[in-house]
Amino acid sequence: MDILVCVTRVPDTAENEIEVSKDGTDIERGALVYSINEADNYAVEEAIQIKERVGGSVTVVTVGTEESEEVLRREMAMGADKGILLTDDAFAGTDGRGIATILKAEVEKGKYDLILTGALADAGAGEVGGMLAAMLDRPYASLVNSIEIVDESTLKVGREVEGGNTEMNRIKLPCVLSIQTGINEPRYVGIRGIRQVASVQIPVHGAGDLGLKAEAIAPRVQRQDYFVPTFGAGAEMLEGSNEEIIEKLVEMLKAKGGLK
């Protein structure tokens, strides 16, 4: 099975203090440490496990900047066969529909049985996978937490639904699935693995190579403002050491009947 996994590079929230930029339309990106989007790492692991079961290939693709190459190499060190970088000045500041449009153009250059995305990335819209499926006119399942191969044209997929329940579906290939974190246990990627793929050529495609005009990817959703909401009446900020905060929180929960 030939699988394409869409991956993206996001600020690592364990490594950074995230601050809103002065103009209020983005976050301060100057000194951020970036890493692979967590859900995408699960999607790549799932693709590799499918390849190990039935054969085929795993390609990882990202829309980003030159720096995004590092996440492609990381996922290649994990076991993906090939990486593709989609970059162009015209792609900067596009929205989810624009990202899906760029990915669709790349998908149409290859032949993929299965396309995986993560359930969510840093902007948190969870929109790219569904839009990509619609643009390609392929069946789509979101929040997938298990994949079973029924036969060469059908998968059985579990979806996480409300209340921690799982829904099972049959879905026809070729299809697009957005993968939920926790579907598997992503394998460890060591420095040695990263060194092994350090000099592998990564094809780079821009708007011209993909036949994309600027107006097709111009954002139609324009971010206006980012802000930290003000605290409303009744909000109380707990202060002190972690132990003191936990102690106060437990007392408050007990007082309000939330804990016995």
Ligand X SMILES: Cc1cc2nc3c(=O)[nH]c(=O)nc-3n(C[C@H](O)[C@H](O)[C@H](O)COP(=O)(O)OP(=O)(O)OC[C@H]3O[C@@H](n4cnc5c(N)ncnc54)[C@H](O)[C@@H]3O)c2cc1C
Q: How far is the CB of 245 from ligand X (least distance, A)?
A: 31
Q: How far is the CB of 148 from ligand X (least distance, A)?
A: 21
Q: Which of residues 109-148 bind ligand X (CB under 6 A)?
A: 117-118, 120-129
The reply on whether position 222 binds ligand X by CB under 6 A is yes
Q: How far is the CB of 125 from ligand X (least distance, A)?
A: 3
The reply on whether position 83 binds ligand X by CB under 6 A is no
The reply on whether position 182 binds ligand X by CB under 6 A is no
Out of 95, 105, 115, 136, name the contact with ligand X by CB under 6 A. 95
Q: Which range of residues in 73-81, 93-101, 137-145, 204-212 is near ligand X by CB under 6 A?
A: 93-101
Q: How far is the CB of 97 from ligand X (least distance, A)?
A: 8
Q: How far is the CB of 224 from ligand X (least distance, A)?
A: 8
Out of 50, 76, 84, 96, name the contact with ligand X by CB under 6 A. 96
As a whole number of Å, the end-to-end CA separation of the chain is: 53
For residue 152, which phi and psi values (nearest 5 degrees)? -70, -10
Q: How far apart are CA 80 and CA 248, in angstroms?
A: 48
Q: Which of 49, 48, 41 is nearest to 79 (CA)?
A: 48
| Cβ proximity of 25 and 138 under 8 Å | no
Tell me, residue by residue from 50 to 79, as one string, x for binding to ligand X by CB under 6 A and - for no binding: ------------xxx---------------
Hey, what long-range contacts does 123-127 have (CB within 8 A, 24 or more apart)?
123/96, 125/96, 126/178, 127/96, 127/97, 127/100
Q: How far is the CB of 239 from ligand X (least distance, A)?
A: 33
Hey, what long-range contacts does 143-149 have (CB within 8 A, 24 or more apart)?
143/119, 143/178, 143/180, 144/177, 144/178, 144/179, 144/180, 144/183, 145/180, 145/182, 145/183, 146/183, 147/46, 147/50, 147/177, 147/183, 149/1, 149/50, 149/53, 149/54
Residue among 32 and 248 whose Cβ is closer to ligand X: 32
Q: Which of residues 32-51 bind ligand X (CB under 6 A)?
A: 37, 39-40
Q: How far apart are CA 220 and CA 234, in angstroms?
A: 38
> Which residues here bind ligand X, judged by CB under 6 A?
6-8, 26, 37, 39-40, 62-64, 93-96, 99, 117-118, 120-129, 219, 221-223
